[in-house]
Amino acid sequence: MDEAIEVNFDGLVGLSHTYGGLPTGNMASEQNAESLAYPKQAALQGLKKMQLLMELGLCQAVLPPQSRPAISVLKNLGFSGTTAQILQQAYLKAPSILAACFSASSMWAANAATVSPSADTADSKVHLTVANLISHLHRAIEPPTTYSILKRIFNDSQYFEIHPPIAANSQLGDEGAANHNRLCADYGKPGLEIFVYGKAGFGQSLGPKIYPARQTLEASLTVARLHKLNANKMLVLQQNPDCIDAGVFHNDVISVANQNVFFYHQDAFLAPDAISKIQQSYADTLYLLPVTSRELSIKAAVESYLFNSQLVTTQAGHMVLIAPYEAKRSAAVQKVLARILAEDNPIKEVYYVDCRESMKNGGGPACLRLRVVLTQQELAIAQKSSHVFLTPARLLQLQAWIEKHYRETLKLADLCDPLLLEENQRSLDELTQILNLGSIYDFQHE
């Protein structure tokens, strides 16, 4: 069997990184709405996290940001004239829509797509389904560009199947890998794929009362069908709606899996037998690492983003958690982690990273990456198509690109500046050359 590894594809923070308070149910984003943002700092923080993963011996790749502002969306919504006039009109008449069209939310690559490795699929291809992200305007405008990017990176149909977003409607809401876990003995062996949904799109369904459930049952089942998964090697579980109402807008805010380890809060799922179902469905050795409500409240879990840590396997063969600094500052979280590290399980270390600019918008370390399991052959094929797989030299190249193009600060009032559009397009055109991605943006075809 061809040895497989897990590649982390991190979303590069965009030049228009701001705090618009756009996503309903995302506590951090709502609380920090209209705060001063630091785009250059945000991008460099993300790059530093990628560097840490590389230093730990993991394969690291990057996904480019999307072109913003989305002028075509503003035109579709009735704003007209020159670019400057369109931006000014939107700023005065519909500032929330303008903020949505400037959003750099594609940085949270965990929402880009759902991924199934070739070991799990009936046709032995890697399957990626681009998420439709229909719950919010600022996310719903991302899928076409995401699809273009993924098609460019994984462009050999013999090995990869890239599915466009499923039908975009509320009954089929799909938010990607943020609601998907995979358990396996080794990355290259068949695993158990766990899909987590917030509500059923059709019929009566117990769901959250305050905030929207972004992932539907039907969307998860559709993705599983598209990926040609064995029905005996997958589970579909409902997230606890009370957790959603407490700010757990995606399952990756309340649980994380890696190989044969599942780290989760005891209140993560609605069904009391959810963990038993996982145990029954997974035949190999499994390390279950529950955290009780007495140890850590849901509120504290959301504030610290403990479960939004990256759980990865290093070259040395043990696992580490890549946690946000916010987790380090929580006494309750520190007690939990001390217990986890003292127990007999594969997690041996915790590394803390500064991703504060992302955290203020509700995205921790795990939100920033899309996990893609590839065999050595699949990796070699993908590496031929672009330069998104990072090397130390390419990391320095990206750092210099960020230093050259990004603004130090950005506030919502700056969004009516037409120079932002010019800066964005000029820099992204240069980035596609660095990453050898070709003309993936609409403006490059004009």
pLDDT grade, residue 27 (50/70/90)?
low
Measured over the CA atoms of residue 62, residue 67, residue 68 and residue 72, the dihedral's sign is negative
Instruction: Look up the CATH number of the domain holding residue 188.
Output: 3.75.10.20
Q: Which of 24-28, 275-279, 441-445 has the lowest mean pLDDT?
A: 24-28
pLDDT at residue 28, rounded to an integer: 59
- What's the farthest any 2 CA atoms get from each other in the chain? 64
User: Is pLDDT above 70 for 23?
Assistant: no
CA distance 257 to 89: 46
Residue 263 contacts residue 256 (beta carbons within 8 Å): yes
Told to judge if 250 belongs to the known catalytic residues of this protein, a careful annotator would answer yes
Out of 127, 250, 265, 405, the active site residue is 250
Number of domain units in the chain? 1
- Report CA dihedral (108, 113, 117, 123) to the nearest 10 degrees: -170
pLDDT at residue 361, rounded to an integer: 83
Residue 405 contacts residue 427 (beta carbons within 8 Å): yes
The residue ranges of DSSP E strands in 45-121, in sequence order, are 59-63, 113-116
pLDDT grade, residue 362 (50/70/90)?
confident
What is the model's pTM?
0.96
User: Is pLDDT above 70 for 110?
Assistant: yes
Instruction: Give domain status of residue 251, yes or no.
Output: yes
CA distance 72 to 66: 13
Question: For 180-199, b where at least 16 C-beta lie within 10 A, e where not — what string?
Answer: bbbbbebbbebbbbbbbbbb
Q: pLDDT tens digits for 382-423?
A: 999 999 999 999 999 999 999 999 999 999 889 999 999 999
pLDDT at residue 277, rounded to an integer: 97
pLDDT at residue 26, rounded to an integer: 62
pLDDT at residue 412, rounded to an integer: 87
Percent of all residues in the chain with a pLDDT value above 70, rounded to a whole number: 97
Told to judge if 175 belongs to the known catalytic residues of this protein, a careful annotator would answer yes
Tokens of 20: 């618009």
Out of 6, 142, 161, 175, the active site residue is 175
Residue 12 contacts residue 107 (beta carbons within 8 Å): yes
Tell me the residue range of the domain where 53 lies: 4-68+103-445
pLDDT grade, residue 24 (50/70/90)?
low
List C-alpha distances in Å: 36 to 9, 19, 101, 362.
Answer: 27, 7, 18, 15
pLDDT grade, residue 1 (50/70/90)?
low
Instruction: Give domain status of residue 89, yes or no.
Output: no
What would the mean pLDDT of 250-270 be, rounded to a whole number? 97
Instruction: Give domain status of residue 341, yes or no.
Output: yes
Instruction: Give domain status of residue 95, yes or no.
Output: no
pLDDT at residue 446, rounded to an integer: 72
CA distance 362 to 65: 18
User: Is pLDDT above 90 for 367?
Assistant: yes
Q: pLDDT tens digits for 291-341?
A: 999 999 999 999 999 999 999 999 888 999 999 999 999 999 999 999 999
Q: pLDDT tens digits for 159-215?
A: 999 999 999 999 999 999 999 999 999 999 999 999 999 999 998 778 899 999 999
Percent of all residues in the chain with a pLDDT value above 90, rounded to a whole number: 91
When the pLDDT of each residue in the chain is averaged and rounded to a whole number, the result is 95
User: Is pLDDT above 70 for 31?
Assistant: yes
Helix or strand or coil: residue 278? helix
Q: pLDDT tens digits for 116-131?
A: 999 999 999 999 999 9
What would the mean pLDDT of 57-81 be, rounded to a whole number? 97
pLDDT at residue 381, rounded to an integer: 97
What would the mean pLDDT of 210-223 be, rounded to a whole number? 95
Instruction: Give domain status of residue 110, yes or no.
Output: yes
User: Is pLDDT above 70 for 358?
Assistant: yes
What would the mean pLDDT of 235-249 be, rounded to a whole number? 95
pLDDT grade, residue 82 (50/70/90)?
very high
